[in-house]
Amino acid sequence: MHPAKSVIYFTTASGAGYGLMVWLAVMGAFGFIPADRTFGIVGFGLAFFLIISGLLSSTGHLGRPERAWRALSQWRSSWLSREGVAAILTFGPTGIYALSWVVQGQNGGPVGMIGLAGGGMSLITVYFTSMIYASLKAIPAWSNRWTSLGYLSMALMSGALIMLALQAGFGLGHMAVMIKASVALLALAGVLKLAYWRALQSDPARSTAESATGLGQFGNVHMIESPHGEDNYLLKEMGYKIARKHANKLRRIALVTGFILPMAMVAAIMVLGLPYVVVLSFLALISAGVGLVVERWLFFAEAKHVVTLYYGNRNV
């Protein structure tokens, strides 16, 4: 599919924002971080900015963005609607938790439980976002178990890296928790991404030109001429093509910059000590951000819709 910039930003930014919200809840509720006002303003401000800007950017790919609110009414059958409803509901506990942290200087006890509820709802929202794509059986590259697992792991991973960079910048303690969590999540997300790519290459095609036309009983099906004289919406939007050699190169870039380099930088903090934590944590965050954007671009670019079988693709 055509990788729209608005959707790429939405899936990376909102995932990182929700991931950061989860770690703010966990680290605050369990007493790893004091309810410092300045840290709270910066941390929650960044989380809400990433979430809100990501959600707003998602409407840029709609034909009539002003009607986006109508999608909320279809929550019984639409994952997009469920995501929108969950995103709105999540602002309740996360907003209360942020205000209690910044205004009252509290992030533990009953307030911490509210924060953990907001963190849980953040993960639910990310899951609903992933299901928008995983539920599309007409796009086999998305309709698999790896899609949701990848979304959740990368949201927690990017949120952990932001949290670590903030802790380092503010000189807060208990950074060992976030260092270990970041390394573990980087490794997990990288393995899941490799498993996803392997599935794309090894899983048998669900549909072929023969099954799509129903003519397989007569032998192989070949297209005599294109159904259209020029590219149309289906081909531009659903039939985006990327050369295999370019896809492999971009996969290596995404894997190295998104997972391997950040993991090495964060792990180096444990060896080199705290004097290097600020530089290494911010470099790891920047590298992971670049890698995630490349990974997200590939996620859309490599997806083929079954409708392309009618335009010359042999299998999907």
Note down pLDDT in tens along the chain; length 316 residues: 677 888 999 999 999 999 999 999 999 999 999 999 999 999 999 999 999 999 988 876 666 666 666 667 778 888 989 999 999 999 999 999 999 999 999 999 999 999 999 999 999 999 999 999 999 988 888 999 999 999 999 999 999 999 999 999 998 878 999 999 999 999 999 999 999 999 988 876 777 766 766 777 777 777 766 666 666 666 666 667 776 678 899 999 999 999 999 999 999 998 887 788 999 999 999 999 999 999 999 999 888 887 777 776 666 6
Predicted TM-score of the model (pTM): 0.91
Per-residue b/e over 72-102, b at no fewer than 16 CB within 10 Å? beebeebbbbbbbbbbeebeebbeebbebbb
Question: What pLDDT does 2 receive?
Answer: 74
The tally of CA atoms less than 13 A away on the side-chain side of residue 38 is: 6
**One-letter identity of residue 71:** A
Question: What pLDDT does 58 receive?
Answer: 80
Beta carbons of 3 and 29 less than 8 angstroms apart: no
Q: Please report where in the chains the tokens 């979430």 appear, as a residue.
A: 51
CA separation for the pair 47, 62 (Å, rounded) = 24
Question: What pLDDT does 33 receive?
Answer: 93
Question: What pLDDT does 254 receive?
Answer: 97
In a domain, 306, yes or no: yes
Question: What pLDDT does 4 receive?
Answer: 83
In a domain, 173, yes or no: yes
Sign of CA dihedral 112, 46, 10, 300: negative
Question: In sequence order, which residues have a C-beta less than 8 Å from that of residue 150 and are 6 or more positions away?
Answer: 130, 189, 192, 193, 196
In a domain, 316, yes or no: no
In a domain, 195, yes or no: yes
Residue 99's CATH number: 1.20.1630.10
In a domain, 23, yes or no: yes
Question: What pLDDT does 302 receive?
Answer: 87
In a domain, 151, yes or no: yes
Query: Domain span at residue 168?
Result: 5-311
In a domain, 94, yes or no: yes
Q: Please report where in the chains the tokens 């295999």 appear, as a residue.
A: 244
Question: In sequence order, which residues have a C-beta less than 8 Å from that of residue 230 and are 6 or more positions away?
Answer: none
In a domain, 18, yes or no: yes
* Number of structural domains in the chain: 1
